Structure 1
Amino acid sequence: MIRLIGVLIIIVGFALGLDAIGIVMGAGLVTGLVGGMSINDILTTLGGTFVASRYIALFLITLPVIAVLERNGLKQSAANFIAKIKNATPGKVIISYGFVRIILAAFNVSVGGVAGFVRPIVYPMATGSIENEGHKLDEKDADEIKGLASSSENVTWFFGQVLFIAGAGILLVKSTLEPLGYSIDPLQAVKAEIPVAISALVLSSLYTYFKDRKMMKKYTKVSKK
């Protein structure tokens, strides 16, 4: 039970509003010592884990790049582009992106995710479809559009990447089940995933469609007035 003291340290630390990095490092150090590890072993484990997960730091690099692009008109360009398409709505933009995204995911093509593509490109296009008609977008609706666009990215990438025969998802399933005595054929696994991915895309699109209809009724009424 005492080995769970690290969890207690994190809870108390965050409750007191202490430095997050210091809390986590302290909890890890205490947990390691209680578990019988030496200082050298603890530092080796922490260092090895950081090196193995260093690709996560790439996310931090994208933030200033996106900020610079937005400052120089990326968001406005995306909104202007969607303004040229008649009868565009946030839902239509997001659903269209979802269909394209799952196809790209099936070939293991990453476009930057929520931070690198959805936030600076898809979201402005979705909101621009309303604002370019002269409507003022409610803050609640803006948050709704953010959520729909982000969920479309997450759903299509999650289920689409498993359609790539050499993707991390298939390899993870194979490496996990084979030691348990289950023989996994990657090609058969991909075939089994196809209807799952299609179902996920359809359900996600339907949810976005009905949310979009409900949202657009408000702005359609404003236009008639």
Structure 2
Amino acid sequence: MIDFWPLIGIVIITVGLALKQNTLLVILVAGVATGLVADIAVMEILSILGQSFTQNRYMSLFILILPMIGILERYGLRQRAEALIGSMKKASVSKILMTYLLLRKVTNGMGLSIGGHPSMIRPLIAPMSEAAAEKSSPNLSDEKRQSIRALAAASENFGNFFSQLLFIGTGGILLIKGVMADNQLDVKLETMALWALPTAIASFVVFSLFAKFIESRLNRQSADAVTETSTTETAQEEGK
């Protein structure tokens, strides 16, 4: 008969998160409970938890990004970014996002990580894109702003997901290498990185076309709105 008691931790996590309890406390309780029902000594459970925290301590560094970005925004980071784009005559939504996408892919290929939604998209890229759109459409509607923000977020997804295997030292490509080696498939890391290049290029082309399409649609909607407003004002004046 299969013993399901060691899976009690999953139940504790599910119920705890559903009741909106403290996440860290729920996970710790689930870990301890799982260890106890599996007949693991308390000291050994604590040792396993401590070892897991030590080995994965760098995963929590992203938490430090959030207050830092908040402080920068509090002192005008978004306004500075918008002012910078406002001073550029040829800046556009598609150009900004394509430039960021290219930069993201190049740095990923070098094994560097400079991007991310909380550190780059929200405080810099999205406001810069909105400022570029406001140059042609001074009164952007909330719907258009949300579309531009979504497109900015998509540029990060395209830049990171479709180019993370360009560097032979990333965790993703090492994981693939390990799985293939377990199945007696000897493939060099350099070969896998080379075959990831067409995907990175194709994703850049696809996103560029999509960004151009969205930008042209937004510009067309703005032009139609201006024309409709002018027509309404003219009709009102003639009616007077």
Which TM-score tier does this pair reach, normalised by the shorter chain? Answer: 0.7 to 0.9
C-alpha separation in 1, matches of 2:101 and 2:52: 34
C-alpha separation in 2, matches of 1:11 and 1:73: 40
TM-score, normalising length from structure 2?
0.82
Q: Which runs of 5+ in 2 are unaligned?
A: 231-240
Alpha carbons 1:7, 1:27 under 8 Å: kept: yes
| Count of aligned positions | 225
Give deviations 1:29-85, integer Å, cap 9, x for gaps: 212222232222222222222222211222121222222222222211211121233
Structure 1 range deviating more: 4-13 or 190-199? 4-13
Q: 1:31 to 1:119 in 2, by over 3 A?
A: same
TM-score, normalising length from structure 1?
0.87
Residue 92 of structure 2 is aligned to residue 89 of structure 1: yes
Q: Between the two proteins, what is the percent identity of the paired residues? A: 32
Q: 1:171 to 1:11 in 2, by over 3 A?
A: closer
CA deviation after TM superposition for structure 1 residue 186, in Å = 1.4
C-alpha separation in 1, matches of 2:226 and 2:38: 66
Equivalent of 2:192 in 189, 201, 221: 189
The equivalent residue for 2:57 is: 54
Q: 1:144 to 1:6 in 2, by over 3 A?
A: farther
The equivalent residue for 2:78 is: 75
Matches within 5 A, 1:1-225: 1-133=4-136, 135-224=138-227, 225=230
C-alpha separation in 1, matches of 2:137 and 2:217: 19
Give deviations 1:78-132, integer Å, cap 9, x for gaps: 1112123335433332122112221121112221422112221111101111234
SS class of match (1:160): coil
SS class of match (1:162): coil
Q: 1:33 to 1:92 in 2, by over 3 A?
A: same
Alpha carbons 2:104, 2:115 under 8 Å: kept: no
C-alpha separation in 1, matches of 2:169 and 2:16: 42
- Higher RCO structure (Cα 8 Å, ≥6 apart): 1
SS class of match (1:156): helix
C-alpha separation in 1, matches of 2:52 and 2:176: 22
Q: Which runs of 5+ in 1 are unaligned?
A: none
C-alpha separation in 2, matches of 1:143 and 1:52: 39
C-alpha separation in 2, matches of 1:131 and 1:198: 30
Q: 1:165 to 1:6 in 2, by over 3 A?
A: closer
Of structures 1 and 2, the larger Rg is shown by 2
C-alpha separation in 1, matches of 2:39 and 2:148: 50
Q: 1:84 to 1:28 in 2, by over 3 A?
A: same
C-alpha separation in 1, matches of 2:44 and 2:216: 57
Structure 1 range deviating more: 118-127 or 173-182? 173-182
Q: 1:50 to 1:212 in 2, by over 3 A?
A: farther
Alpha carbons 1:107, 1:161 under 8 Å: kept: no
C-alpha separation in 2, matches of 1:24 and 1:93: 41
